[in-house]
Homo-oligomer: A and B are copies of this chain.
């Protein structure tokens, strides 16, 4: 599936998330899904990515339950791809990447796109502690309590792949 780093020995949720969505193009495909793209040819023409790469990424996202397929034409049979709840919950990952890219990559060039929140403001996301509501800073976060029972990622993902196959 074109994975280019083997995180299977890591016992880590960051590595876990990246194992599912960290492949080249995958987060860009998901960005477009949030913008309403559902069909193979639309991604292909927007991204100019090789068809076999795009097909592999979509297949992987479906296998991991990030997207699901829906039949929109019976003859010929054609599927579109819809974000599941699991996929929709990647929104904070994409918004924090966008905010950082706006600030530190585009910077003085200006953000390529400005999103609007329903409150009327230009969208500026801010990450807070769910318990106290304070903005999160590194200095306020204490080292991790390790869960010694958590298995390496290779085992977790093998189980998930099996579950995905069983559900198909």
Instruction: Report which A residues bind B (CB closer than 8 A).
Output: 2, 4-5, 7, 9-20, 22, 24-25, 27-28, 31, 34-35, 48-49, 65, 86, 88-106, 109-134, 136-138, 140-147, 149-151, 153, 156-157, 160
Contact partner, A16, options B24, B101, B153, B156, Cβ 8 Å: B101
Contact A92 B88 (CB under 8 A): no
Copies of this protein, total: 2
Contact partner, A97, options B13, B95, B122, Cβ 8 Å: B13
Inter-chain CA distance A123–B103, complex, in Å, is 25
Nearest 8 pairs of A and B residues by beta carbon: A13-B101, A5-B24, A16-B105, A121-B131, A113-B144, A17-B101, A16-B101, A112-B150
Contact B147 A110 (CB under 8 A): yes
Considering only CB atoms, which chain B residue lies closest to A5 in the complex? B24
Contact A101 B138 (CB under 8 A): no
Contact A114-B15, Cβ < 8 Å, known A90-B100, A136-B91: no
Contact A117-B132, Cβ < 8 Å, known A24-B5, A106-B16: yes
Contact B89 A104 (CB under 8 A): yes
Contact partner, A93, options B7, B96, B132, B133, Cβ 8 Å: B96
